[in-house]
Structure 1
Amino acid sequence: MIPYGRQSIDEDDITVVVDTLKSSWLTQGPAVPAFEKSLTQFCGAEHAVAVNSATSALHLACLALGVQKNDIVWTSPNSFVASANCAIYCGATVDFVDIESDTGNISVNALDAKLAQAKKQGTLPKALIPVHFAGQSCNMKAIATLAKKYNFYVIEDASHAIGGKYCERPVGSCQYSDITVFSFHPVKIITTMEGGAALTNNDELARQMQLMRSHGVTANQEEMTEEPHGPWYYQQVQLGFNYRMNDVEAALGKSQLVKLEQFVKQRNELASFYNDAFKRQDKISPLKVMPDCYSSYHLYVIRGTGLSSDSHKAAIETLREKGIFAHVHYIPIHLQPFYQTLGFKKGDYPHAEQYYERAITLPLYPSLTKEEAQYVVDTTVDIVNRLSR
């Protein structure tokens, strides 16, 4: 079976992991700050806070920005549930902004219209979480302009997008946002096994996230309420969580980061191969990458424009029968049973729903061979054309 995604681990990665396992530090040692420093250098941000998952990073980002009960947070319905759950963890209310069908990203036009209406109703969001779907940045300049106009925070959910660029700058520079979040799950661009990070250019936001990732506990005397009892002394100065990344994961991440640009280059080459193969197909439409974006291509998604709901399902099942693990990213969050209990329903975000009924994620990862990619193309074209109206 050809998977839709796969990690790329080499002997250098294995060596640094083994060396860390043999070292004096498996956690809370030097590897995490070293990885964080490499992230800031690569992305051009002031601070990186490494944690045990991108979900944890999203939660800490919301908390650091003061998201709490009675606040409202908006995000994209075309994402994994963590993009919305993180606000609910803080007691906030979640709402969504529909997407652009051609990119899968939040629609700036829909956002602008929704903000204007929310201002009239007194329901403006405290924060927006735009999701860089499949590795392509959202239109962050326009979003930043709206954030300034309507006074809300911006958390970039760039779980798919490390190694990508927007307007010639690395995703993660936080030029147009308060915080950017990355994921290092094995199917992402680089991996730490599990893990994530939050990047920011704000010193206080970084300090808050660093404190909260480790129980809200500090050994820094300047943050304490009384003199230390001795060299062992620490204080819990606020409620935090056990969200730390360990040294083994961080060592792997630092090793992977060295190869990030090559990984993204290979993904773009494979995406170009797919694009060239599909451009003559009138029933297959790949997602577009906008001119000011360099996608990291975490995912390669096509839309079967002639498929119905039933034939869409049949196409994916048949691709899997043929040894290609086609998938769908994502089930719109507002259609999940939990979110329907909050009042969301089918029809609320029609572009996200229409996209979901046609989207097919095809295999894309650096070690995918051209022969495998050609098989994916030939098989996909045959199946989609046979099942299309």
Structure 2
Amino acid sequence: MIPYGRHSISEADIDAVVEVLRSGWITQGPATPRFESLVSSYCGADYGVAVSSGTAALHLACLALGLGPGDALWTSPNSFVASANCALYCGASVDFVDIDPHTYNMSVTALRTKLEQARSQGTLPKIVVPVHFAGQPCDMKEIAGLADEYGFHVIEDACHALGATYEDQQVGNCRYSDITVFSFHPVKMITTGEGGVLLTNNKDLHERAGRLHNHGIVREGLSEEGGWFYEQHELGFNYRITDIQGVLGISQLSRLNEYLSQRRELAARYNRLLEDLPLERPYQEAGRQSSWHLYVVQVPENSGWTRQSLYEELRNEGVGVNVHYIPVHTQPYYQRLGFQYGQFPLAEAYYGRALTLPLYPGLSEMQQDHVVASLEKFVGSDESTRGRRIE
């Protein structure tokens, strides 16, 4: 089975991990702070805190910004559930902003309309979390402008977007946000097994996130006591990563640009090979460069086959297609919170036709050809939708 995504582990990665295992620094050693520094430097941010997952990074970001009971967080329904769950972990409420039908990211137009309504009702959010879906950056400059106007904080959920660029600058520089978070899950741009990082240009946010990811404990500035001394200043969590993960991240980061180049070449090749098939290929906004975490096509409406049938046929052919994402507000847990089908129709319409094709470093041209040949076998070419692409 050709998976939709997979990690790439080299002998250099293995050697780096083995070296740490032999060093005596298995948990909290020099590798993790070095990894934090390297990721921050790559993205152009001042500070970084490496944590146990992208979900942990989202939770810490919310806590660092003071999200709590009585507050609200808004995010995109087209995301993994963690983008919304982080608000509930803090005792806050969550709501969603429908997506742009071109990029599948949060719609700035929908956000502006929702903010106008919320201001009149006294229900403005404390935090908005735009999600860089599939690796394509959101309209961050416009979102930052709305943040200034309406007084909310911005957390960029860039878990798909390490290496993506916006206005010729790396995503993660926090120019238009308070905090950016990344994930290092095995199918992401680089992996630490499980892991994530929180980036910011704000020293206070960095220091608070640093405390919170380590039980709320402070050791610095307590010189009047012995070196063994520490104080817990607030209720924190064990969201640390180990030096084993940190050194794997360092080794992986050294090949990030190579991985990105491979992903972009494969995406460009898909665009060419799929041109004559009745599928909508991913739209890319001008002035942005995707990291191509995912390559998502849309199946046409009113055809002789459905997304479900195509999914099943392709998997029978050994093509491990997937679907990203089931809209968060349609999940049973969120339905019990009062969300309903039909509230975010563009996200629901997108989901009904979305299909993620295999894309990862190491996917061979022969494997990619098999993916395309399998698509051709089942969808053929339909003159009415040939080469259709959202513009």
Corresponding position: 1:369 with 2:360: no
CA contact (8 A) 2:276 2:381 kept: no
**Counterpart AA for 1:175:** R
**Counterpart AA for 1:243:** Y
Pick the aligned partner of 1:349 from 344, 347, 350: 344
Helix, strand or coil at the partner of 1:334: helix
What is the alpha-carbon distance in structure 1 between the residues aligned to residue 56 and residue 224 of structure 2? 30
Corresponding position: 1:233 with 2:252: no
Unaligned ranges ≥5, structure 2: 386-391
CA contact (8 A) 2:57 2:198 kept: yes
Q: CA deviation at 1:308?
A: 7.1
Residue 15 (structure 1) aligns with = 15
Alpha carbons of structure 1 residues 33 and 307: separation in structure 2 relative to 1, 3 Å = farther
CA contact (8 A) 2:136 2:284 kept: yes
Residue 248 (structure 2) aligns with = 252
Alpha carbons of structure 1 residues 277 and 307: separation in structure 2 relative to 1, 3 Å = farther
What is the alpha-carbon distance in structure 2 between the residues aligned to residue 382 and residue 68 of structure 1? 52
What is the alpha-carbon distance in structure 1 between the residues aligned to residue 83 and residue 364 of structure 2? 32
What is the alpha-carbon distance in structure 2 between the residues aligned to residue 103 and residue 233 of structure 1? 51
Map residues 258-297 of structure 1 onto 2, 5 A cutoff.
258-281=254-277, 283-297=278-292
How far does the alpha carbon of each residue in 1:17-47 deviate from its partner, in whole angstroms, 9 at most, with x for none?
1001111101111010010110111011000
CA contact (8 A) 1:267 1:365 kept: yes
Helix, strand or coil at the partner of 2:74: strand
Corresponding position: 1:325 with 2:283: no
Residue 48 (structure 1) aligns with = 48
**Counterpart AA for 1:235:** E
What is the alpha-carbon distance in structure 2 between the residues aligned to residue 230 and residue 110 of structure 1? 56
What is the alpha-carbon distance in structure 2 between the residues aligned to residue 245 and residue 368 of structure 1? 29
Q: CA deviation at 1:221?
A: 2.4
What is the alpha-carbon distance in structure 1 between the residues aligned to residue 380 and residue 62 of structure 2? 45
CA contact (8 A) 2:57 2:196 kept: yes
Helix, strand or coil at the partner of 1:284: coil
Map residues 115-126 of structure 1 onto 2, 5 A cutoff.
115-126=115-126
Q: CA deviation at 1:381?
A: 3.0
Alpha carbons of structure 1 residues 310 and 73: separation in structure 2 relative to 1, 3 Å = farther
Residue 333 (structure 2) aligns with = 338
Residue 76 (structure 2) aligns with = 76
**Counterpart AA for 2:262:** Q
What is the alpha-carbon distance in structure 2 between the residues aligned to residue 291 and residue 99 of structure 1? 18
Q: What is the CA RMSD across the aligned residues, in angstroms?
A: 1.6
CA contact (8 A) 1:307 1:384 kept: no
How far does the alpha carbon of each residue in 1:265-287 deviate from its partner, in whole angstroms, 9 at most, with x for none?
11000000001122233x20012
**Counterpart AA for 1:41:** S
CA contact (8 A) 2:47 2:203 kept: yes
CA contact (8 A) 2:40 2:47 kept: yes
CA contact (8 A) 1:308 1:358 kept: no
Alpha carbons of structure 1 residues 307 and 324: separation in structure 2 relative to 1, 3 Å = farther
What is the alpha-carbon distance in structure 2 between the residues aligned to residue 104 and residue 299 of structure 1? 12
Number of aligned pairs? 384
Q: CA deviation at 1:218?
A: 1.3
Helix, strand or coil at the partner of 2:280: strand
TM-score with structure 2 setting the length: 0.96
Stretch of structure 1 that moved more, 253-262 or 304-313: 304-313
Unaligned ranges ≥5, structure 1: none
What is the alpha-carbon distance in structure 1 between the residues aligned to residue 302 and residue 20 of structure 2? 50
**Counterpart AA for 1:36:** E
Q: CA deviation at 1:314?
A: 1.0
Q: CA deviation at 1:310?
A: 7.6
Pick the aligned partner of 1:383 from 367, 378, 391: 378
Q: CA deviation at 1:228?
A: 4.9
How far does the alpha carbon of each residue in 1:311-364 deviate from its partner, in whole angstroms, 9 at most, with x for none?
211110111000000100000000000000011011000000000000000000
Q: CA deviation at 1:385?
A: 4.1
Residue 311 (structure 1) aligns with = 306
Helix, strand or coil at the partner of 2:306: helix
Alpha carbons of structure 1 residues 69 and 256: separation in structure 2 relative to 1, 3 Å = same
Helix, strand or coil at the partner of 2:95: strand
What is the alpha-carbon distance in structure 2 between the residues aligned to residue 249 and residue 353 of structure 1? 37
Helix, strand or coil at the partner of 1:285: coil
Alpha carbons of structure 1 residues 189 and 386: separation in structure 2 relative to 1, 3 Å = same
TM-score with structure 1 setting the length: 0.96
Corresponding position: 1:203 with 2:198: no
Q: CA deviation at 1:374?
A: 1.1
What is the alpha-carbon distance in structure 1 between the residues aligned to residue 189 and residue 226 of structure 2? 44
Map residues 165-184 of structure 1 onto 2, 5 A cutoff.
165-184=165-184
Helix, strand or coil at the partner of 1:94: strand
Alpha carbons of structure 1 residues 234 and 308: separation in structure 2 relative to 1, 3 Å = farther
Q: CA deviation at 1:250?
A: 0.5
